[in-house]
Amino acid sequence: MNTPTTAAASDVQPFALHSLGELFAAPKDNTKYLVDDLLPMGGTSVIVAKPKCGKSTLVRQLAVAVAKGLPFLGRTTEQGRVLYLCIEDKWEEVCDHFKLLGADNDTPISPVFEWNVGPDGIERLTRTLSASPDIKLAIIDPIFRFIRVADSNDYVKVTDALAPLHNLARAHEGLHIALVHHMKKKAGDDPFDGTLGSTAINSNVDTIVNLRRNREGLRTIQSCNRHGRDLPESFLVWNEVTHSVSLGPTAEEAERQAAISIRQRIEKEMIEFVAAHHGATQADVYANASGKTKARRDALAALVEGGILVQAGAGVKNDPHTYTVPAIPQEKVN
């Protein structure tokens, strides 16, 4: 039996070591974006949502925005040609949608419609990008009908399957690759923990864009970025004419406005009740106002503090708090 030699091992080079001083002094590469502070050039993203939640609609809108150099969700874009690999929808429906979005014969979008790309998809995409260096955005919709993974929950297998796409994005200057993917049927409260399959899908991309639909049927969008600026959870406003979306208020702002509206309604109910029932007790005021206990308590306290209602009584069993509307001074009446 021959003894293994170390000839092959001797050809392996050690890691190149750098000092912190060298790295501190080296010029830094500023991240360039296809969509400002959202989709980096030389990077990848995943757009995740449950079926029929609007992810394909969103990426087509993205395609038109990039192809025309128009803003996307309020953020500027770098104009360029778009490759749209559509592996699920009918070409007639997709083209009709592009027309509604404002695309015409000269809009630089190149759709590819193949329901069965085959195992050589990565190689075909590589050759396409090499032959068309003007492509700035490549959309794969959906990703798991393009790459083949025996077990989408296997971290290593998913990482290996996605690696060529990440390498492609980094190898082509100015290119971003956007992957469309599904969300779990039962997604939890964490918006970025609902991606179907292995966590490798989220961990390997530069940007995660998440679409959700709440119980009222309203859709929200938010992002988690490795670079740039996260898109806060925001409501989407649907345009029935163009079949596109725009950003509405953030969820935080909508919640704040809803709380203000509820507070104003409760205060109105309390003022009207006290005006009609001079000397009403606290229990009566609470009973005749809507809303949760804390909201009613806070509203009544604010009315008293603001001088809109006058509170009397010690607030004990035999001397409860009572409320009246303050009298208008005689000089103001005159």
- Say if strands 234-239 and 310-312 run parallel, antiparallel, or are unpaired: unpaired
Q: What is the mean pLDDT of residues 107-118?
A: 91
Domain 31-242 has CATH 3.90.1150.10: no
Say what the pLDDT of residue 71 is. Answer: 97
Outline which parts of the chain fall under CATH 1.10.10.10: 255-333
Our CA angle for 185, 189, 191, nearest 5°, is 80
DSSP 62-89: HHHHHHHT--BTTB-B---EEEEEESSS
Say what the pLDDT of residue 179 is. Answer: 97
Q: What are phi and psi of 295, to 5 degrees?
A: -65, -40
Q: What is the DSSP letter of 26?
A: S
How large a percentage of the chain has pLDDT more than 90? Answer: 76
Say what the pLDDT of residue 126 is. Answer: 96
Report how far residue 3's alpha carbon sits from residue 180's, in angstroms, rounded to the nearest whole number: 51
| pLDDT averaged over every residue in the chain | 91
Confidence class for position 317, pLDDT limits 50, 70, 90: confident
Three-state SS for 223? strand
pLDDT in tens, 180-223: 999 887 766 676 777 888 999 999 999 999 999 887 888 999 99
Report how far residue 150's alpha carbon sits from residue 266's, in angstroms, rounded to the nearest whole number: 57
Say what the pLDDT of residue 176 is. Answer: 98
- In the numeric block, the tokens 């600026």 are attached to 229
Q: What is the mean pLDDT of residues 111-119?
A: 88
- Please give the structure tokens belonging to residue 214: 């709440």
Sheet holding 135-141, edge to edge: 109-113, 81-86, 135-141, 176-182, 43-49, 207-213, 219-225, 234-239, 244-250
- On the question of pLDDT at 332 being above 60, the answer is no
Q: What is the mean pLDDT of residues 159-184?
A: 94
Say if CB 38 and CB 223 are below 8 A apart: yes
pLDDT in tens, 260-316: 999 999 999 999 999 999 999 999 999 999 999 999 999 999 999 999 999 999 999
> For the chain, how are helix, strand and coil distributed in percent, rounded to 5?
35, 25, 40
Confidence class for position 27, pLDDT limits 50, 70, 90: confident
Outline which parts of the chain fall under CATH 3.40.50.300: 31-242
Say if CB 55 and CB 47 are below 8 A apart: yes
Report how far residue 183's alpha carbon sits from residue 210's, in angstroms, rounded to the nearest whole number: 9
Q: What is the DSSP letter of 320?
A: -
Say what the pLDDT of residue 216 is. Answer: 81
The answer for residues whose C-beta is within 8 angstroms of residue 299's C-beta and 6 or more apart is: 263, 266, 267, 270, 289, 291
CB burial class (10 A; 0-12, 13-18, 19+) of residue 118?
A: exposed
Confidence class for position 1, pLDDT limits 50, 70, 90: very low
Say what the pLDDT of residue 61 is. Answer: 97
Say what the pLDDT of residue 88 is. Answer: 87
Report how far residue 222's alpha carbon sits from residue 248's, in angstroms, rounded to the nearest whole number: 12
In CATH terms, the fold of domain 255-333 is Arc Repressor Mutant, subunit A (1.10.10)
